[in-house]
Every structure is written in structure tokens, then in C-alpha cells.
């Protein structure tokens, strides 16, 4: 093999996997998604109360607290990795960007669908177009606006690359090729403006998701309730956003038996670990500084949750941050998943577990709610399975790319 293309498993280019779409796994996921959508219709017909375990105390259920608050953090990889590449100039990670951005747009889109199902009077969204009814004090308004803008404008544009590349393929008419090429040049010209937007908007709404719970005041357990919630939420989005990109890539390599550039991935895993440790230190310091550390150790449910989320972040983070991780992809995979679960638990806890509306209200998601929530996640999985097979998303080594993807593109033969 040529040394000019790097090592045999060094990722250099993104490539569509191709292959059959309707695999058994795809069909199962589709069934789950279809069930979720059918139940969404039922929710529109029967009202939110019939479709969820929400009540007047716990007015936000899985739709917002899990599918939006928690899962968009998991999908913050595109934004965190983008910052790494374009702001902190870790250019070598650029090859991972397409996967990260795809995960981001899918997780955010699923979140938006969930949000659409969750609101009770969606027709009044027309007022979003009329600035004088905007409540500039409202945290939720800021979240909604930033999230919509991020998904509709910034993420869409960032994800145009693979689409345009496909449209330039030989199977399309020449006119389409030319249009796509023109569009590519336009996108390239405006790219930095939108990338910068794609950094500032998630920074705003990922931190504001924390502010949302800060609004709940005394109704959130004091161990979790802090003015620092925006910072901790944002930091956690970075930690698990990066971690999840690695998880997705490792899993994709395992599933489709692709060569894995672990040298590259372990770098991200380590950064995620360092950020996780930083998060842990800030969180612990913050809880200690406010003098509520004792309330975290009163031997109740909250002690368990606090310990679970702290340890599930600390232990994997420390192990991931150690240099030895570059030798053990499988261990890292497990640690990253634990880190993701711990981080998701932290993002979810203030919204529901540590949320105490009083009067003995209690909440547990209903079956329909769980199935709908799962259906929205399945939608994102369908999107992922389809896109990586039909669009150049997943990173592969140059040799593999040259052997399998559109040989006509290779103008200059470089193979030894």
C-alpha cells in the first residue's frame, strides 16, 4: 500500500457505505418509529394527558426533558467537535466532522419533533414570526429561537456538503451536477459565517437549557439548583457530545466492519475525559461552595442519584484522560458509554428526579409516552442508517475509498 495515503487505517475521506437499505435491524427500528408516530396521532386526538404521565405538578415529561434537554446534549458533538477543529485548530479531526454533524442534526431534529408533539397549542407558533410578542426575558423563548435557528440554518448548511457531493455524482444529469457545484462554491464562501453561528447558537441554548431549570427555583433540589446550571449544562453537552461521536464511530466500525482510526478517535476520547474531569471539579466545587454538599449525603434517593452521576462521570473521565486509553478501544467504548449515561443522568435529574413540585405530585412516564419517546429516537436512527449508506458521511482510509467509491473521480492514479 502507498505511504502517500497514510497508514491503512488512517481516516482521510468520507464515503457512502452503500449496500442494502432494508436490513432486519432497519425494519425493526422503522417499526418502532412508526409506532411512535401513530401514537403521536393518538396524542393529538386524545390530548397530552392521555398520552403521557405528565400532570399539573410535573408539567414536563419525557418529550422535553429526555428527548430535548438530554438527547440534544448527546447530539452536541457536531458543535463541540467543530469548535475543536475551527476554533482550537485541531484540523486533523476534520474528517470526523460529517459524522458528528449528522448525529447533531438527527438528534436535534428528533428533539424538535418531540417538542412539536409536546406543545399543547402548536398553531400559535405563528407568533414566532411577530417580534413584538416575543418575550425577551423568557429563557424558553431563547432556547426555542436558538435551537430552531441552529437546526434550520446553521446545521442544515453544515450538512449540505455530503448532499452536494452526492448530487455531483455521475448518476445525476449534468445540469444538476453544475448546480450542485455552484451551490458548493457558495456554501464554501459563506461557510465560516455559518460555522461561527453554529458555535454561538448551541452555546446559548445548551446553557439556557440549564437556565430553564434555574427558573424552577426552590422546586429543584438544592444540590442541583444553582445559578451555575447554565455552565454545568453546557460543559456536560461538550463532554457527552464528544464522547458520543466516538461511540457512534466505534459502533459504526464494529457494525459495518470498517477500519478504525483509533489514534484519531482516542484523541477525542481523551479530550472528552479531560472535560469530564473539569466538569466534575467544577460541579463538586460548586456544590461545596454553596454549602449543600451535606444535603447530597442524607441517605435518600438524591444521595444515590448524586453519587451515580458524579461517579459515572468521574471514573470514566479519569480513565479516558489517561494516556493508556490509546491502546484499548473496547475499554474506551465501554467507558465512553458509561460517561454518556452519567452525563445524560445529570442533564435529566434536575428536570424530573430532583424536581419537587410539592403536594405529593409524582411522575413516571406512561407506556405511550415511553413508546413515543423511543419512536422519535428511532426516527433519528433511521436517519442515520439511511444517510451513512447513501451519502459520504463515515470516514475511511484513502485506500478503501479509492477501491470502492466512484473510481472515476480519481483523476491521478496514486496507487503504487
Assess 324 for contact with other proteins (CB under 8 A). no
* Contact criterion met (CB below 8 Å) for 230 and 68: no
Residues 111-170 within binding reach of other proteins (CB under 8 A) = 118-122, 124-125, 127-128, 133-135, 137-142, 144, 160-161, 165, 168
Alpha-carbon distance of 65 to 138, in angstroms, equals 18
Residues 291-320 within binding reach of other proteins (CB under 8 A) = none
| C-alpha grid cell, residue 282 | 467544577
Assess 8 for contact with other proteins (CB under 8 A). yes
| CA dihedral over 335, 234, 291, 138, signed as positive or negative | negative
Alpha-carbon distance of 199 to 368, in angstroms, equals 35
| C-alpha grid cell, residue 415 | 496507487
Residues 328-357 within binding reach of other proteins (CB under 8 A) = 328-330, 333-334, 337, 357
* Contact criterion met (CB below 8 Å) for 373 and 114: yes
Assess 42 for contact with other proteins (CB under 8 A). no
Query: Minimal distance in Å, beta carbon 62 to other proteins?
Result: 10
Alpha-carbon distance of 50 to 354, in angstroms, equals 24
Alpha helices in 349-366 (DSSP H): none
Distances (CA, A) of 121 to 116, 117, 339: 9, 10, 37
* Closer residue to other proteins (CB): 45 or 416: 45
* Contact criterion met (CB below 8 Å) for 278 and 248: no
Stretch that binds other proteins, among 106-114, 189-197, 295-303, 306-314 (CB under 8 A): 189-197
DSSP 261: -
Residues 370-409 within binding reach of other proteins (CB under 8 A) = 370-371, 374, 392, 396-401, 403-404, 409
Residues 235-254 within binding reach of other proteins (CB under 8 A) = 235, 250-251, 253-254
Query: Minimal distance in Å, beta carbon 406 to other proteins?
Result: 9
Residues 47-66 within binding reach of other proteins (CB under 8 A) = 47-50, 53-57, 59-60
Q: Pick from 34, 35, 37, 94: which binds other proteins (CB under 8 A)?
A: 94
Assess 106 for contact with other proteins (CB under 8 A). no
Amino acid at each position: 500500500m502507498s505511504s502517500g495515503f497514510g497508514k491503512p487505517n488512517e481516516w482521510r475521506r468520507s464515503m457512502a457505505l452503500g449496500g442494502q437499505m432494508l436490513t432486519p435491524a432497519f425494519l425493526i427500528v422503522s417499526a418502532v418509529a412508526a409506532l411512535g408516530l401513530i401514537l403521536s396521532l393518538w396524542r393529538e386526538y386524545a390530548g397530552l394527558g392521555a398520552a403521557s404521565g405528565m400532570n399539573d405538578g410535573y408539567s414536563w415529561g419525557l418529550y422535553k426533558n429526555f428527548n430535548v434537554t438530554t438527547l440534544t446534549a448527546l447530539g452536541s458533538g457536531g458543535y463541540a467537535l467543530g469548535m475543536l477543529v475551527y476554533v482550537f485548530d485541531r484540523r486533523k479531526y476534520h474528517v470526523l466532522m460529517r459524522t458528528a454533524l449528522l448525529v447533531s442534526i438527527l438528534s436535534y431534529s428528533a428533539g424538535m419533533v418531540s417538542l412539536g408533539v409536546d406543545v399543547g397549542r402548536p398553531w400559535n407558533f405563528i407568533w414566532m414570526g411577530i417580534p413584538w410578542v416575543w418575550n425577551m426575558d423568557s429563557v424558553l423563548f431563547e432556547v426555542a429561537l436558538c435551537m430552531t435557528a441552529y437546526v434550520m440554518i446553521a446545521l442544515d448548511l453544515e450538512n449540505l456538503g455530503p448532499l452536494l457531493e452526492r448530487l455531483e455524482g455521475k448518476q445525476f444529469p449534468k445540469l444538476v451536477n453544475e448546480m450542485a457545484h455552484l451551490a458548493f462554491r457558495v456554501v464554501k464562501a459563506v461557510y465560516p459565517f455559518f460555522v461561527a453561528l453554529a458555535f454561538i447558537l448551541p452555546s446559548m441554548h445548551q446553557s439556557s437549557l440549564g437556565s430553564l431549570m434555574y427558573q424552577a427555583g426552590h422546586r429543584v433540589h438544592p444540590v442541583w439548583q444553582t445559578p451555575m446550571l447554565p455552565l454545568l449544562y453546557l460543559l456536560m453537552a461538550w463532554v457527552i457530545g464528544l464522547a458520543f461521536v466516538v461511540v457512534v464511530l466505534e459502533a459504526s466500525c464494529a457494525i459495518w466492519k470498517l477500519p478504525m482510526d483509533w489514534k484519531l478517535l482516542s484523541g477525542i476520547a481523551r479530550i472528552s475525559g479531560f472535560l469530564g474531569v473539569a466538569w466534575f471539579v467544577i460541579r463538586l466545587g460548586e456544590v461545596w461552595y454553596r454549602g449543600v454538599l451535606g444535603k447530597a449525603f442524607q441517605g435518600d434517593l438524591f444521595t444515590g442519584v448524586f453519587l451515580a452521576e458524579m461517579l459515572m462521570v468521574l471514573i470514566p473521565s479519569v480513565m479516558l484522560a489517561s494516556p493508556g486509553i490509546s491502546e484499548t478501544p473496547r475499554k474506551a467504548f465501554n467507558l465512553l458509554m458509561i460517561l454518556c449515561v452519567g452525563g445524560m443522568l445529570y442533564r435529566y435529574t434536575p428536570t424530573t428526579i430532583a424536581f419537587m413540585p410539592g403536594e405529593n405530585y409524582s411522575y413516571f412516564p406512561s407506556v405511550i409516552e415511553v413508546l413515543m419517546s423511543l419512536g422519535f429516537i428511532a426516527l433519528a436512527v433511521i436517519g442515520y442508517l439511511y444517510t451513512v449508506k447513501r451519502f459520504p458521511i463515515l470516514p475511511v482510509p484513502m485506500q478503501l475509498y479509492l477501491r470502492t467509491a466512484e473510481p472515476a473521480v480519481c483523476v491521478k492514479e496514486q496507487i503504487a
